[in-house]
């Protein structure tokens, strides 16, 4: 019975946790817009513009986030669980490395001219957030 519960939590984590990655990049963009001020972004209201962009962030970021979750986060968590070493920092650390590598490649696929300008470490932050949410849903009782 506990195995069925764990499988259900893992499936829920696979479905929900990837949404944390794009939301983290979105939140970082809001913070960056607030710190940079209006002049450096070019919009009349950069914070409002960034708030409106949550849905496109999720839609455009979801394919990479789900891919990273299925290819890295889920297998790493299963590997760590099998060795009784499952921890939030292990899953988040592996996901941060994966996000740091996959995010720039995915952005390059979306726009080969690399016109996107996100905060430094956006991919690693997105990956770490995805890993932490994955662990929280799948491993916590």
Q: Say which residue, 106 or 40, is predicted with more confidence.
A: 106
Residue 130 pLDDT grade (very low, low, confident, very high; cuts 50, 70, 90)? very high
For the record, the structure tokens of 100 come out as 């740091």
> What pLDDT, on a 0 to 100 scale, did the predictor assign at position 98?
95
> What pLDDT, on a 0 to 100 scale, did the predictor assign at position 45?
64
* Prediction pTM value: 0.84
Which three-class secondary structure state does DSSP give residue 18?
Answer: helix
User: What pLDDT digit, counting tens, does each position of 78-88 carry?
Assistant: 999 999 998 99
Eight-class DSSP state of 115: -
Which range scores top for mean pLDDT: 26-30, 33-37, 41-45, 103-107? 103-107
Reference 130, options 80, 71, 79, 85; nearest CA is 71
Domain boundaries defined on the chain: 2-139
What distance in Å separates the CA atoms of residue 18 and residue 128, rounded to the nearest whole number?
10
């Amino acid at each position: 019975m506990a195995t069925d519960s764990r499988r259900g939590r893992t499936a829920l984590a696979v479905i929900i946790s990837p949404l944390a990655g794009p939301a983290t990049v979105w939140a970082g963009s809001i913070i960056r817009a607030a710190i940079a001020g209006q002049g450096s972004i070019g919009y009349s209201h950069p914070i409002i513009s960034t708030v409106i962009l949550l849905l496109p962030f999720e839609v455009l970021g979801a394919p990479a986030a789900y891919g990273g979750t299925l290819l890295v986060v889920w297998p790493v968590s299963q590997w760590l669980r099998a060795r009784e070493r499952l921890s939030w920092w292990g899953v988040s650390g592996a996901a941060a490395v994966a996000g740091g590598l996959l995010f720039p490649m995915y952005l390059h696929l979306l726009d080969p001219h690399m016109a996107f300008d996100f905060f430094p470490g956006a991919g690693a932050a997105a990956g770490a957030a995805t890993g932490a949410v994955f662990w929280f849903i799948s491993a916590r009782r």
